[in-house]
Structure 1
Amino acid sequence: MTDTETRTALDTAAWGGRHVHDPTVVRDGDGTYWLFSTDARYDGPVRGGVPIRRSRDLVTWELVGWALPGVPGPAADWSGAEGLWAPEVVEVTLRDGTRGWRMYYSASSFGSRRSAIGLATAPHPSGPWADHGIVVASDHVEPPEGLGHPNAIDANVVTEADGSQWLVYGSFFGGVHVLPLDPATGLLASDVADVSGRPGALRDAPGRCLARRPRAADGAVEGAFVLPRPGGGWALLVSYDSLAGSYHLRAAVADRVTGPYRDRGGLDLADLDAAAADPWAVGVPVLSGHRLAGGRGLLGPGHASVLTEPAPGAPGVRQLLVHHVRDADAPTEHRVQVRRLVWTHDGWPLVSPQPWAGTGREQDDESRWPTDPTVLDGPWESFAPGADATHVQDGVIGPLPRRADVRVVAPGRFAWLADDGAHVSAVVHPGWDAVRGRATLCLSTLDDRGRTLLATRLPRPAPETAPEGDRP
C-alpha cells in the first residue's frame, strides 16, 4: 500500500482536497477514485513522493499516504528536486501481461529546465509503487536565440485506438511537445530512446511542438492534456500564464495527436507569428478566475486532467475535468476542484460553471437534458473566461445575450445567431448551484469567433404581491 510513515507527523486528517496542485484522478475496478498530485503544501514543509487521496464520490477526499518514499535517486541526482510534480497515472498492460498502473512523475525546481520525467509502476493505484528511473530529461542550457528547448515536466500519456502511445510534455520555455512511447515498456520508442537522460538531448530530438507562446507572454504554457473528440480527432487543453495570477485554461483541436492544434479561428497554438500581435488571442478560453455572487473567489484554475468513465445508470461515458484552483483572497492556498466536461454539437470541449456535486445531484443521462429553448429565458449569472483572464471576474446577473434562430440540435445542445452575427454553439445540462445550494441548469457556450460564456440559471423572482388593502 502507500507510504504512510509521515502521515501522523503531518496530521493530514483534515487535508481532504486541500494542498492539491496539478491533479489527476483514476478509478479502480471497485469504483474507488484515486487522486494524485504535486508535492505541495501552503502552510508548512513539503513531504516528497506524490500524495495519494481516495474518494467514493469525487467530492470528499481522504489522504491515505504517498506513492514513493521521496524523490527517486536518479531523478533527484539529475534535477536536484526536493519534491515531485504533476504525476500522470494510467492503467496499462504490463510486461508480464497483467493489468497494472504506470505513473509518470516530474522532477525539477522552480524556474529551472534541468528536469526529468520518471516512471513508476504498481499493481493498483494504492501501490506499492516501484520506480523505474528516468524516461526523458532536459538540461538548463539555453540557446542564444528563441525560447529554447522544452522542459521535461508535465507528462501526459495519450493512447490511440490502435494501441499506439504518445508522451505529451513540456512547460514554459520551448513549449509543449510530443514524443512516441513504446506501449510495452512505457519508455520512449526505440528510435528516440537515446533521448532518455542524455544532457541536452531534447535540443536535438524534442519531438513535435504542439503549443508554445512568445516571450511577450513569458512563454507561459504548460500542463497539457490531450483527449479524443467525439466523432474523431483530438482536443488539447493547456494552461496559460502565472500560477498565482492569471493562470487559466484554453483549448484547441486537431485531426491527429501530433497536431497541428488550432483554435476556433484556425490559429495554430504552436505558431509564434500568429500570437505576435496578441499572445492572449490564441486558443479557446475554457475556464478562468471568477467569483459568483455570494461565493468564494476562485483564482488561477488550471493544470487540468480529464477523467473518462462509464456514465452510471446511463448510456455512454461521462467526463470530468479535474483541476486545481487557488483562493482569490489567499492566493497561496490551493485545492482540487472537479467539473463536468461537455462537448458542443460541433466537437469543442467546454466545462460547467459549477463544481461537481456528486452523482445524486447530477444528471448523467444526456437524453434527459433540456430540449426546450425556453429554458434559455429568465435570469442567469454568467462570466466570460476569455474576457479578461488577468482579473477574477465577478458574475453578471441578468438575461443571456439576445439570440435569434435558436435551434435544438440534440438534448442539451442548442445553436443560435447572436446580435453581432456570430454563430453560437451551446450546451445546457442539469447541475447543482454550489453557492445557493439548489438544483439548477448550467450553460456553456462557444461562438465561431472563439468567445466563451459560462452561466448558472437563477431562480425566477417571485411575483410581487400588493398589500391586501391595496388590492382591487
Structure 2
Amino acid sequence: MTTADITSADPSADPAAWGARHAHDPTVVRDDDGTYYMFSTDSVANSEYIPIGVHIRTSADLIKWAYAGTAFDGVPGPAAEWSGAKGLWAPEVVRWESGDWHMYYSASTFGTNTSAIGLAVAPSPSGPWQDRGLVVATRAGQHSQNAIDAAVTFDADGAPWLTYGSFFSGICILPLNRTSGLPLVEGDLGAAIARRPKSVEGAVEGAFILRRPEDGRYVLFASYDSLFSTYNVRVAVADAITGPYRDVRGVAMTDLDAPPASVGTKVLGSHQFDGGTAWLAPGHNSVLTQDGPDGSPEHFMVHHVRFAADPTEHVVQLRRLFFNAAGWPVVSPQQFAGREAETLPTPEQVAGTWQVLRFDPESTELVPAVAAELVSGVPMVSDGTPALARLRIAGEQDGSGEAVELDAVVFGSWDPVRARSALSFSGIDQHGVAWSGTKGGVS
C-alpha cells in the first residue's frame, strides 16, 4: 500500500491535514523571527503510519498550525537502547543561556518506568537537532522514579532545573548544569515535589513550573488521573523552586494522608458550554510566556484535550492564563482566538446572566455549563481588557448555602457557539474552588 492509498483511506494518516489535531503533550516556543513552534508526542490514532522523532508544527498566530516534520529520524540511539521505545514523548524545548535551544525528550514503553530523558541541541527551533545523549534514566525494579515528562525552569538566579516524573513515585526536580544542560550532579534523580497515594495509582504527571518574577513565587502545574478519560490540571505554589508546593487551601502536593482528590487546586477539567463541543480530559500542559501589547508578560496555557464524542481524537488548545489578586493562576474557559477576535465592539456591564463552570476537585465528571447571575463587588463595565475583579454568583450554586464570592479576572474572549466576542471570567472562590464562565444565557 502506498502513502497515497493510506491517506486516501484515512485522512488522519496525512500530517499535512492535521493542523492542531493529533498533538499530545505539547509545548510551544517563539523564535526570533516571530514564528511559533509546537513540539509534541509521536501519537495519533493511526499509529502504524505516523512519523517518529518528535512532531513539529509552526504557526504565525497561535491559531493555525502546519505540520513541519520531525526533529529526529526515529528514536535517538542511546534512548532507544536504554528504553526500547518505538516513539518519543513529551518534548520540552527551551532557549538556553548560550542562545542555543535545548530539547528534553522522553523515551519509554507505556506502563513501565524503564524510561529515559534525552537532550538534543539546535541553533533554532527548526533544527538541526543534535542528540547529546541521556540526562536521566530509570529502570523498572531498580528505581522508583519514572524518567518522562521533562520540563525546565530557570530560577531567580538564572539556574536551570529539570522537573519530571509520572505515576510511580511522582514528580521530581533536580538542578542542571548551566552550560551543558546535564544534571549538575551526575546520576542525580532529584527530590519529590508532588506525589499521590497508591489508592489512586499515584496518578500525577505532566508537570510544569512557571516562575513569577512579580511575586517571587513558583507555580507548579500537574495533571491528575487518567490521560484517556479523567485528566485534569491542578496547581500549587511555592516560595522556592524545590518546594514545598501548596494549593490554595495550604495542602502540600506531597501529602499522602489527605483525600487524594482534594489535593491541588483544580483549574481545568472536562467541560461543555451549552451548544458547544464537549471537551474531555484536558491536561499535560506547558506555559508559553511572551511580552503582551503593553510590554508586560502574558501567558498561555498549552495543553491537549480529547473530544468526548470520540476520545481517541485529541487536539491542542491554547488558553489565556491570568493571575488573580491573590496571585493564583486562573484559566480562560475559551480557546485563544486572537486579539482581534477577542476585542469587544463596545464595553459591557459585567453584571448579568453567564454560563458558568465549577471545577469541583472531588469530581472527574464532565462539567456542563449552567446559567448564573453574576455581579461585581463594585459595579463594573468591561471592554475586555484583563482586569482584576471581586465577583459574586447569586444563589446557592455550590450547595454550601451561601453565595459564591470570587477572586477573579474578567477579560475578553471568543464565544465559538455564538461566533462573537464575549466577556469571560475565571476565578477562585472562598473555598478554594475554581470557576470560569462566559457571558450569555443557557438556551
Q: TM-score, normalised by structure 1?
A: 0.84
Q: Which residue of 1 aligns with 2:417?
A: 435
Q: Is the 8 A contact 2:262 2:361 kept in 1?
A: no
Q: Residue 378 of structure 1: CA displacement?
A: 1.1
Looking at structure 2, the residues matched to 377 and 423 of structure 1 have their Cα atoms a distance apart, in angstroms, of 14
Give 1:25's aligned residue: 28
Match of 2:241 among 247, 257, 260: 257
The answer to whether the 8 A contact 2:23-2:43 is kept is yes
How many Å separate the matches in 2 of 1:260 and 1:390? Answer: 26
Q: Distance in 2 between matches of 1:411 and 1:246?
A: 30
**1:353 match: secondary structure:** coil
Q: Are 1:291 and 1:392, in contact at CA under 8 Å, matched by a contact in 2?
A: yes
Which residue of 2 is the match for residue 71 of structure 1? Answer: 75
After TM superposition, give the deviation of residue 407 of structure 1 in Å: 9.5
Alignment counterpart, residue 183 of structure 1, candidates 168, 178, 195: 178
| Counterpart Cα distance in 1 of 2:368 and 2:254 | 32
Q: In structure 1, what is the Cα distance between the partners aligned to 2:355 and 2:210?
A: 29
What is the deviation of 1:350? 0.9
**Per the alignment, do residues 297 and 421 of structure 1 end up closer, same or farther by CA in structure 2, a change over 3 Å counting?**
closer
Aligned with 1:446: secondary structure? strand
Q: 1:258 to 1:406 in 2, by over 3 A?
A: farther
What does the per-residue CA deviation read over 1:272-295, in whole Å, with 9 as the maximum and x for residues that have no partner? 12x2xx211111111000111111
What is the deviation of 1:412?
A: 1.1
Q: Distance in 2 between matches of 1:391 and 1:314?
A: 39
Structure-1 residue corresponding to 2:139? 139
Corresponding residue of 1:40: 43
CA distance in 1, matches of 2:402, 2:442: 27
CA deviation string 1:401-449 (max 9, x = no partner): x7767899x9611125777377531110111112211010111010242
Alignment of 1:424-463 (within 5 A): 424-458=406-440
Conservation of the 8 A alpha-carbon contact between 1:407 and 1:415: no
Structure 2 residue 390 is the aligned partner of structure 1 residue 415: yes
CA contact (8 A) 1:264 1:448 kept: no
Tell me, in whole angstroms, the C-alpha distance in 2 between the residues paired with 1:102 and 1:460. Answer: 46
Residue identity matched to 1:141: G
Equivalent position of 2:149 in the other structure: 154
For 2:397, the equivalent position in structure 1 comes to none
**How far is 1:11 from its partner?**
2.8
Deviations 1:18-46 (A, max 9, x none): 11000000000111100000010113423
Structure 2 runs not aligned, ≥5 long: 1-5, 394-400
Equivalent residue, structure 2, for 1:167: 162
Residue 351 (str. 1) matches residue 325 (str. 2): no
Q: Match of 1:362, as an amino acid? A: E
CA 1:314–1:8 in 2, change beyond 3 Å: closer, same or farther? farther
Residues 390/422 of structure 1: CA separation in 2 closer, same or farther (3 Å cut): closer
3-state SS, counterpart of residue 13 of structure 1:
helix
Alpha-carbon contact 2:37-2:58 (below 8 Å) kept: yes
> In the TM superposition, what whole-angstrom CA distance separates every residue of 1:37-71 from its partner, at most 9, and x where no partner exists?
00101134232100100000111100010000011
Q: In 2, distance between residues paired with 1:115 and 1:369?
A: 53
Query: Any idea what SS the aligned residue of 1:74 has?
Result: helix
Determine the C-alpha separation between the residues in 1 that align with 2:44 and 2:135. Answer: 27
Structure-1 residue corresponding to 2:303: 323
User: Unpaired segments of 5 or more residues in structure 1?
Assistant: 1-6, 143-147, 196-204, 462-472
State how far apart, in whole Å, the 2-side matches of 1:270 and 1:381 are: 34
Aligned length: 422
Report percent identity of matched pairs: 48
Matches within 5 A, 1:264-303: 264-273=248-257, 275=258, 278-303=259-284
**Retained in 2: the 8 A contact 1:407–1:416?**
no
Distance 1:390 1:11 in 2: 33
Matched, 1:59 2:43: no
Secondary structure, counterpart of 1:75 in structure 2: helix
The answer to whether the aligner puts 1:339 opposite 2:343 as a matched pair is no
The answer on 1:219 being equivalent to 2:202 is yes
Q: How does 1:102-113 map to 2 (within 5 A)?
A: 102-113=102-113
Aligned to 1:145: none
Secondary structure, aligned partner of 1:384: strand
Deviation of 1:362 after TM superposition, in Å, equals 3.3
Task: Decide whether aligned partners of structure 1 residues 107 and 398 sit closer, same or farther in structure 2, where only a CA change above 3 A counts.
Answer: same
Q: Which residue of 2 aligns with 1:84?
A: 88
**Contact kept in structure 2, 1:362 and 1:430, CA below 8 Å:** yes
Query: Is the contact between residue 324 and residue 330 of structure 2 (CA under 8 Å) also seen in structure 1?
Result: yes
The code of the aligned residue for 2:44 comes to R
The counterpart of 1:245, out of the listed 198, 218, 229, is 229
Q: CA deviation at 1:375?
A: 3.2
